[in-house]
Amino acid sequence: MAEGPSDAELVRRVRDADGAALSQLYQRFVRPCYSLARRICVDEGLAEDVVQEVFLTLWRDPTRFDPARGGFATWLLTVTHHRAVDAVRKENAIRRRVVAVPEAGEDWSPTPVPGADQAALARVAAGQVRAALHRLPVAQRQVLALAYFGGHTQSEIAVQTGVPLGTVKSRMFTAVQRLRALLTDQLGPDTLVAEARKMRGEQ
Amino acid sequence: MNDLRRGAACPHRELAVGWALHALEPAGDSLVAAHMPDCSICTSTAAETEEVGATLGLSVPDAIPSAELEQRVLRVTAAKWEAPVVVLAPSTSPPRHITRWFWLRAGGWLRPRR
């Protein structure tokens, strides 16, 4: 488990232009950020460009992180997600048009990395999230996967799935609502991201 | 109980979820961005959605970036503050720069500028 200053303390030091603090945050978060960018972008080079831009954003304007709105990990992963989606849209990659809804036993289990107990913990955490996802109705899981991992807008999803835009919006809202409830029950009373990071051995 | 579960009343709640997932078209995105500062319900809804999204983000297969990525980040962040040193104060070392020199030297790749 990681010791040392909290994420918030390191961000405060980045505001004072402390490069060592940025380096610590990089070491702490680069893998989850890269893993997410890689999942969305598929292309490794594009994913690394995204991660570079994310940390550059943090360095240039650390005040974008508002502790009052949530935890740093949530903010950084949200920035990573949005930048990765932007990159994919910009690239207009064909592969993002064929994102499949993960099914039971499919590739949502983390790939083992050599010699890492962390990988086992990550598999447990991912398994919890996957189990929660699979308790959602397929239609809700589909819109969530197409938006979050596929980078599609609600309008695009409506066209692809052949349902009205209003239905896509309500399905997405309900999917998030139910998933949050399921994850809170499974991961515990603390914030979801903090619990997930603990299970990955990152905190 | 959070706003998502409570079903708090605001006609833009569904849009707030789409906004937090970066799934709106530009027009909807602008609408929510303008609405958010005045609506605690949508602000809370977006924050909770981002947390769910980040949890999804932590569930993906673990991937390891190349060793060059850290150097690329270091290089770009270094360029931001090095320029003023050359132009404005080549013979002094303001405190703001010291920590970055320390970090960059610790990374073992930066060579001192002439």
**pLDDT tens per residue across span B6-53:** 455 899 999 999 999 999 999 999 999 999 999 999 999 999 999 999
The pLDDT score that the predictor gives to residue B84 is 40
Handedness of CA A143, A149, A155, A158 (dihedral sign): negative
| Closest CA–CA distance from residue A79 to any residue of chain B (Å) | 10
The pLDDT score that the predictor gives to residue B79 is 52
The pLDDT score that the predictor gives to residue B94 is 46
Q: What's the pTM value of the predicted model, to 2 decimals?
A: 0.78
Q: Do B17 and A180 touch (CB under 8 A)?
A: no
A131 CB neighbours in chain B (<8 A) are none
Which is more confident, A169 or B85?
A169
The pLDDT score that the predictor gives to residue B106 is 40
Chains A, B: CB contacts within 8 A come to 195
Q: What is the pLDDT of residues B44-103, one digit of tens each?
A: 999 999 999 999 998 898 899 999 999 988 887 765 544 444 444 444 544 444 344 434
Q: What is the pLDDT of residues A57-103, one digit of tens each?
A: 999 999 999 888 889 999 999 999 999 999 999 886 555 445 545 54
Which is more confident, A124 or A4?
A4
Instruction: For residue B59, give the nearest of A20, A78, A129 by CB distance.
Output: A129
Best residue in A10, A12, A22, A23 for a mutation probing chain B (most B CBs within 10 Å): A23
What ipTM goes with this model?
0.83
| Closest CA–CA distance from residue B48 to any residue of chain A (Å) | 8
